[in-house]
Amino acid sequence: MSLAKTFETAKNLGVLTEGWLKHVKGILKENPADIGIKLQLDSAASIVAPAALVATVVSQSGLTVGHDPIRVLLIGSDPLIRFDNSKWASLAGEMLGSPGAIDILLTVDEDAASEFSQLASALDLEPCGVITHEEASSESGPQVDLAIWVHPAGESSDPGEQQNTTTAIGLASQRGVPVYTASFNEVDLHAQNYLIHEQAWQMVPLGGAIERGSKAINKFGISTADLGVEGGWGAILGKLEVSLPTLSEVEISLVRTAMRLVCAEGALHTSWTLGQRINGVAFNRIIPVGLLGNMAIDPQTGHILQQDEDSRELRLIGHLWQAALERMPISKRDLLPWACRLKLAFLSELPKEDERRKEAVATLEEGFRAGVFDAGVALARCYEGSKADGSSAKAVQWHREVGDRHPLSAYSLAYQALEEEDYAAAEIHLRASSAFGYPVAMTDLGKLLCSTDREGEGLQLLGEAADLKDPEANYELGEVSAKAGELQNALNYLRQAWTYGHAEAAGLAAQVAQYMLDHGIGKRSLIKREVKEISTYQKKLDRRQVSNAH
pLDDT 10s per residue in the chain (550 long)? Answer: 468 999 999 999 999 999 999 989 988 989 888 898 888 888 899 999 999 999 999 999 999 997 799 999 999 999 999 999 999 999 999 999 999 999 999 999 888 999 999 999 999 999 999 999 999 988 888 999 999 999 999 998 899 999 999 999 999 999 999 999 999 999 999 999 999 999 999 999 999 888 888 999 999 998 765 444 456 899 999 999 999 999 999 999 999 999 999 887 765 556 788 999 998 776 567 899 999 988 999 999 999 999 887 777 888 899 999 999 999 999 999 999 999 999 999 999 998 899 999 999 999 999 999 999 999 999 999 999 998 999 999 999 999 999 999 999 999 999 999 999 999 999 999 999 999 999 999 999 999 999 999 999 999 999 999 999 999 999 999 999 999 999 999 999 999 999 888 999 999 999 999 999 999 999 999 999 999 999 998 888 777 665 554 4
Alpha-carbon distance of 219 to 57, in angstroms, equals 12
Judge whether 402 lies within some domain.
Answer: no
Q: Say whether both 242 and 255 belong to one domain.
A: no
* Contacting residues for 152 by C-beta, under 8 A, at least 6 apart: 76, 161, 164, 165, 168, 181, 183, 192, 196, 203
CA distances from 536 to 148, 190, 317, 500, 502 (A): 56, 43, 22, 14, 14
Alpha-carbon distance of 54 to 176, in angstroms, equals 19
Q: Say whether both 215 and 193 belong to one domain.
A: yes
Cα 231 to its chain centre, rounded Å, is 12
Looking at residue 227, what is its pLDDT?
A: 41
Question: DSSP for 233-285?
Answer: ET-EEEEEEE----S-HHHHHHHHHHHHHHHHHT----S--TT-B--SSGGGT
* Contacting residues for 81 by C-beta, under 8 A, at least 6 apart: 50, 74, 89, 106, 150
Phi, psi of 114 (to 5 degrees): -100, 175
Return the exposure string of 83-116: e unless at least 16 CB atoms fall within 10 Å of the residue's CB, then b: bbbbbbbbbbbbbbbbbebbbbbbbbeeeeebeb
Q: Say whether both 89 and 129 belong to one domain.
A: yes
DSSP 8-state symbol, 96 = T
Q: Domain range for residue 512?
A: 471-550
Alpha-carbon distance of 75 to 82, in angstroms, equals 10
Question: Which amino acid, residue 185?
Answer: N
- How many CB atoms are closer than 10 A to CB 6? 19
Judge whether 452 lies within some domain.
Answer: no
Looking at residue 339, what is its pLDDT?
A: 97
Phi, psi of 274 (to 5 degrees): -55, 130
Positive or negative, the CA dihedral 474, 476, 479, 484 is negative
- How many CB atoms are closer than 10 A to CB 79? 10
Judge whether 447 lies within some domain.
Answer: no
Task: Answer whether 401's CB lies under 8 Å from 365's CB.
Answer: no
Q: Say whether both 290 and 235 belong to one domain.
A: no
Task: Answer whether 82's CB lies under 8 Å from 117's CB.
Answer: no
- CATH number for the domain that contains residue 37: 3.40.50
Looking at residue 544, what is its pLDDT?
A: 66
The closest of 335, 302, 357, 344 to 471, measured between CA atoms, is: 302
Q: Say whether both 69 and 188 belong to one domain.
A: yes
Judge whether 443 lies within some domain.
Answer: no
Looking at residue 547, what is its pLDDT?
A: 54
Q: Quick: pLDDT tens for 188-226.
A: 999 999 999 999 999 999 998 888 889 999 999 987 654
Residue 374: exposure state from Cβ atoms within 10 A (0-12, 13-18, ≥19): buried
Q: Say whether both 61 and 11 belong to one domain.
A: yes
Domain boundary among the residues 246, 264, 289 is at 246
Judge whether 296 lies within some domain.
Answer: yes
Instruction: Tell me how many domains the chain contains.
Output: 3
Domain boundary among the residues 246, 261, 281 is at 246
Domain boundary among the residues 214, 246, 278 is at 246
Question: Which amino acid, residue 463?
Answer: G
Q: Quick: pLDDT tens for 344-361.
A: 999 999 988 999 999 999
Alpha-carbon distance of 237 to 181, in angstroms, equals 6
Q: Say whether both 166 and 240 belong to one domain.
A: yes
DSSP 8-state symbol, 138 = S
Q: Say whether both 158 and 238 belong to one domain.
A: yes
Q: Say whether both 241 and 183 belong to one domain.
A: yes
- CATH number for the domain that contains residue 486: 1.25.40
Looking at residue 542, what is its pLDDT?
A: 75
Q: Say whether both 257 and 171 belong to one domain.
A: no
Judge whether 426 lies within some domain.
Answer: no
Judge whether 293 lies within some domain.
Answer: yes
User: What SS3 state is found at 503?
Assistant: helix
Alpha-carbon distance of 316 to 304, in angstroms, equals 6
Phi, psi of 314 (to 5 degrees): -90, 125
* Contacting residues for 228 by C-beta, under 8 A, at least 6 apart: none
Q: Say whether both 242 and 263 belong to one domain.
A: no
Alpha-carbon distance of 17 to 46, in angstroms, equals 9
* Vertex 226: Cα angle to 224 and 229 (nearest 5): 75
Looking at residue 549, what is its pLDDT?
A: 47
Looking at residue 269, what is its pLDDT?
A: 52
The closest of 105, 103, 95 to 70, measured between CA atoms, is: 103
Q: Say whether both 354 and 315 belong to one domain.
A: yes
Judge whether 461 lies within some domain.
Answer: no
Task: Answer whether 241's CB lies under 8 Å from 204's CB.
Answer: yes
